[in-house]
């Protein structure tokens, strides 16, 4: 815990405002351990929201503190147990996905603001007509379009589609992901809101004007 606190202190400017999922493997942790971890993270402006564990007592302790024991869109049930998957032929997008693998008719349109603490997962494209607030998550197998302010975490191409894009009228996210790449927006309060599109180029996430 002391080592963790020192590491967070050194990186506070970078990590402050983050929501944290901790993977503990088979290490057993009791409720007091998790409470201490919550306190340390809170002291550095971070929030513990999920504990991923192979130990049943640790998962029970996490649930006792109202912490999640799985990630949104993960192939597990609410108790963190792995679900059986269908044969690859039935789910082509789960392997080497491309934009053409995503069924455009399977898009999800949300006419609302996605508020802090809410996670939305969809295997196709997601369109939000409204804002995505800090602390909210959007995870899509395809593209993500936000007709409003994007200030939360957005993961496009979550099934491995590197051609996926993220578009927003005002792009100031806590974190962006495309496939397995991650980018964090710089904190610049002087910037002027402009529509932007984010995509992968040469293995890196880049932003450009959204015409």
Domain boundaries, the chain: 2-64, 93-209
Q: What is the pLDDT of residue 71?
A: 65
The answer to whether residues 86 and 92 touch, using CB atoms and an 8 Å cutoff, is: no
The list of the chain residues with pLDDT below 50 reads 73, 77-79, 83-104
The answer to whether residues 57 and 79 touch, using CB atoms and an 8 Å cutoff, is: no
> What fold is seen in the domain 93-209?
Pectate Lyase C-like (2.160.20)
Which pTM does this prediction carry? Answer: 0.53
Per-residue model confidence as pLDDT tens digits over 160-181? 889 999 999 999 998 899 988 8
Question: How many CB atoms neighbour CB 35 within 10 A?
Answer: 14
Structure tokens at 189: 């309060």
* 166 three-state secondary structure: strand
Per-residue model confidence as pLDDT tens digits over 60-100? 888 888 777 776 545 554 445 554 443 333 333 333 333 34
Rounded Cα–Cα distance for residues 148 and 126 (Å): 13
Q: What is the pLDDT of residue 132?
A: 95
Q: Cα 17 vs. chain centroid, distance in angstroms?
A: 14
């Amino acid at each position: 815990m002391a080592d963790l606190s020192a590491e967070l202190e050194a990186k506070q400017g970078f990590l402050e405002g983050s929501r944290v999922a901790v993977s503990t493997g088979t290490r057993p942790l009791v409720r007091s351990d998790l409470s201490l971890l919550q306190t340390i993270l809170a002291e550095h402006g971070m929030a513990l929201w999920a504990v991923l564990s192979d130990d049943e007592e640790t998962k029970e302790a996490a649930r006792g503190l109202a912490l999640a024991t799985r990630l949104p869109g993960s192939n597990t049930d609410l108790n963190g147990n792995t679900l059986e998957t269908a044969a690859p032929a039935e789910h082509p997008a789960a392997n080497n996905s491309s934009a053409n693998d995503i069924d455009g008719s399977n898009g999800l349109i949300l006419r609302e603001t996605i508020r802090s603490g809410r996670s939305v997962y969809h295997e196709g494209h997601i369109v939000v007509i409204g804002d995505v607030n800090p602390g909210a998550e959007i995870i899509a197998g395809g593209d993500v379009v936000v007709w409003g302010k994007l200030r939360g975490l957005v993961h496009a191409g979550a099934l491995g589609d590197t051609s996926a894009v993220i578009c927003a009228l005002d792009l100031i996210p806590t974190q962006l992901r495309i496939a397995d790449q991650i980018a964090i927006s710089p904190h610049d309060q002087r910037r002027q809101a402009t529509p932007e599109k984010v995509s992968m180029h040469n293995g890196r996430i880049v932003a450009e004007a959204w015409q």
